[in-house]
Amino acid sequence: MRQHRTPRLLGTLLLVAAAGISVVGAAPAAADRTVTPLGQVVPAPASVDASGSPYRITGGTRIRVDDSREARRIGSYLAEVLRPSTGYRLPVTDDSGRDGIRLQLTRKDAALGEEGYRLKSGKGAVTITARGPAGLFHGVQTLRQLLPAAVEKDSAQPGPWLVAGGTITDTPRYGYRGAMLDVSRHFFTVDQVKRYIDQLALYKVNKLHLHLSDDQGWRIAIDSWPRLATYGGSTQVGGGPGGYYTKAQYKDIVKYATSRYLEVVPEIDMPGHTNAALASYAELNCDGVAPPLYTGTEVGFSSLCVDKPVTYDFVDDVIRELAALTPGEYLHIGGDEAHSTSHEDYVAFMDKVQPIVAKYGKTVVGWHQLTGATPAKGALAQYWGLDSTSAAEKEQVAAAARNGTGLILSPADRVYLDMKYTKDTPLGLDWAGYVEVQRSYDWDPGNYLPGAPGSSVQGVEAPLWTETVSTSAHIDYMAFPRLPGVAELGWSPASTHDWDAYKVRLAAQGPRWDALGIGYYRSPQVPWPAE
């Protein structure tokens, strides 16, 4: 019935093509919603050339994949997204052909890198080409967003299923585009973590940092120190039952993340934030006395005993076992808020622990306080300061960056997903201030930290601390709609950065979250479409 509008739609698309990406965000009139303008995607694509006729998925459409395991797997993933809502069969086949949805892996276009892709859409086919499977997967996420929001529903919907004509060529700005989930303050099950992974994948996030230990709970089984999990993991903030991942469960998370092209970055926070470990083993305490388990939300009161040799046996065992479970490059050793460790001890501790990480083949990541010690060669420092952080502290981090330490930017008053949006937000903390959607998006990682070379910035990460967050509904509400903005800062070229255009693209995501069952904060800063 909406078909008769096609000529007008084409006119709109041609206008978009003529004006380039800057008008891609123009709000679609309600009646035009059948074709999402090419480029009305989050994160904004690097380059958009909107032209030609749209592609239409029909009952006869096939998903044609290269004869490779990865392309076939990504084709099946796409089919699983599209089948319930379209009601079509959408067979995945490696029969070559020029029609249908085509997923192609080819090493030809070096400029696409390992994560980039090209999406070409026209009358007979939509073709996604990439050099690596991650690129193909990211291209599939773009295709999802080009289809009507109803495509995300799990029951048959009317369609039509049109993809605007033209070409998107897209590569990421940064290689590190992360999200952190604190599973220590409140424990989250494997299924809850998988749900978050699926949400992150929608926005091309490629690192899942798991904060696996803190004062309130130790969440990963370590065979050589079993009480860490069985006792240290037995509670959480507020005194609930807590929990921990067995090795098999952790591997399952890693495998699921890998299938969505996310690398897991595990964190064991030390020397502070260690009450759960200190409570589990008396010998880790300088006085040999185990403190009680802790279920409050204070920080900075615990420390491993820097002088005791057993401390380094413990650290070696934990890092060895965790590294063996983790295929990714990084291992995060925390290092924040070691207020109960003297500066001298902190430096000595980091000098001993960083080589252990290297010994087990991993690259050190630490919160930016690590720059107050001597960061190992190749280490990354994760900056979590604020606008109001002292110039001296910022300069300490910038000096390390000039000296070769890479930076991950997580400014707390911009991208901490646990900060309240406003004073009325029911969940969250406010120590870094209120963080509304515009504040979260409207900054440039490339020139954020004074004195730090742009080339030191490896990317951005949105941490979600969970002192006040204990369910998937809570995660949804704190992450959406801020998380996609952080993902865009990590992916899109700085030239696309424009709040007024972004807020319109973001608004178009609202109906997708509704369709996916993601409950989000309806920020008044965003022009959500009327329901």
From CA 377, how far away is CA 122, in angstroms rounded?
Answer: 49
Count residues near ligand NGO (CB under 6 A).
10
418 near ligand NGO (CB under 6 A): yes
Which of 263/418 has CB closer to ligand NGO?
418
Closer residue to ligand NGO (CB): 152 or 461:
461
Residue 443 binding ligand NGO, by CB under 6 A: no
Closer to ligand NGO by Cβ: residue 418 or 436: 418
Residue 461 C-beta: closest distance to ligand NGO, Å: 11
Minimum CB separation from ligand NGO for residue 228, in Å? 19
Residue list 8-47, contact with ligand NGO (CB under 6 A): none
The binding track of 451-490 with respect to ligand NGO, each residue x by CB under 6 A or -, is --------------x-x-----------------------
CB of 299 to ligand NGO, least distance (A): 5
Element (H, E) at 181: strand 176-182
By CB under 6 A, is residue 203 in contact with ligand NGO? no
CB 281 within 8 A of CB 275: no
Based on the shown chain and the rule CB under 6 A, indicate whether residue 66 belongs to the binding site for ligand NGO. Answer: no
Nearest distance from C-beta of residue 393 to ligand NGO, angstroms: 13
446-448-454-459 Cα dihedral, nearest 10 degrees: -60
Nearer to ligand NGO, 10 or 429 (CB): 429
What single-letter amino acid sits at 63?
A: I
Which member of 245, 261, 330, 367 binds ligand NGO (CB under 6 A)? 367
What are 133-138's contacts with CB under 8 Å, separation 24+? 133/70, 133/71, 133/73, 133/74, 133/105, 133/261, 134/206, 134/261, 136/70, 136/71, 136/74, 136/103, 136/104, 136/105, 137/74, 137/77, 137/201, 137/260, 137/261, 138/170, 138/204, 138/261
CB of 291 to ligand NGO, least distance (A): 18
User: Of 188, 330, 349, 416, which one interacts with ligand NGO (CB under 6 A)?
Assistant: 416
43 preceded by a cis bond (ω within 30 of 0): yes
Residue nearest to ligand NGO (CB): 465
Q: Please, what is the minimum distance in Å from the beta carbon of residue 104 to ligand NGO?
A: 42
Cβ closer to ligand NGO: 357 or 435?
435
- Residue (149 or 419) nearer to ligand NGO, CB: 419
Contact status, residue 279 vs residue 232, Cβ threshold 8 Å: yes
Which residue has 């899942």 as its token pair? 208
Q: Which is nearer to ligand NGO, 127 or 440 (CB)?
A: 440
DSSP 205: -
429 belongs to the binding site for ligand NGO (CB under 6 A):
yes
Closest CA relative to residue 240, chosen from 465, 429, 470 = 470
Q: Give the contacts of 22 (CB within 8 A, at least 6 positions apart).
A: 498, 501
- Taking the C-alpha atoms of residue 252 and residue 246, their distance in angstroms, rounded to an integer, is 10
What is the sign, positive or negative, of the torsion defined by CA atoms of 270, 228, 235, 193?
positive
> Does residue 188 touch ligand NGO according to CB under 6 A?
no
Rounded to a whole number of angstroms, the minimum distance from the CB of residue 274 to ligand NGO is 12
* Binding to ligand NGO, residues 286-305 (CB under 6 A): 299
| Least Cβ distance, residue 8 to ligand NGO (angstroms) | 49
Nearer to ligand NGO, 25 or 375 (CB): 375
What token pair was written down for 292? 């009680």
Applying CB under 6 A, which of residues 267, 321, 336, 413 lies at the interface with ligand NGO? 336
**Binding of residue 349 to ligand NGO (CB under 6 A):** no
Nearest to 63, CA basis, from 87, 97, 93: 93
Beta bridge partners of 161: 57
Q: Which lies closer to ligand NGO via its Cβ, residue 66 or residue 467?
A: 467
The residue whose two tokens read 């990714």 is 328
The residue annotated as part of the active site, out of 70, 329, 337, 393, is 337
Burial of 215 (0-12, 13-18, 19+ CB in 10 A): buried
- The distance of closest approach from Cβ of residue 421 to ligand NGO in the complex, given in angstroms and rounded to an integer, is 14
Q: Is 386 in the site for ligand NGO (CB under 6 A)?
A: no
According to CB under 6 A, which one of 384, 421, 480, 491 is a site residue for ligand NGO? 384
Q: Cα(144)–Cα(150) distance, rounded to whole angstroms? A: 10
Task: Reply yes or no on whether 337 is catalytic.
Answer: yes
3-state secondary structure of 334: strand
- For position 337 contacting ligand NGO by CB under 6 A, the verdict is yes
CB of 402 to ligand NGO, least distance (A): 23
Check if the beta carbon of residue 383 is closer than 8 Å to that of residue 370: no
Residue 128 CB partners (closer than 8 Å, separation 6+): 101, 102, 103, 104, 117, 118, 119, 136, 139, 140, 142, 143
**Residue placing its CB nearer to ligand NGO in the complex, 267 or 476:** 267
Q: Residue 346 interacts with ligand NGO (CB under 6 A)?
A: no
What Å distances lie between residue 86 and 149, 160, 420, CA to CA? 12, 9, 38
> Looking at the annotation, which residues are catalytic?
337
Interacting residue ranges for ligand NGO, rule: CB under 6 A: 299, 336-337, 367, 384, 416, 418, 429, 465, 467
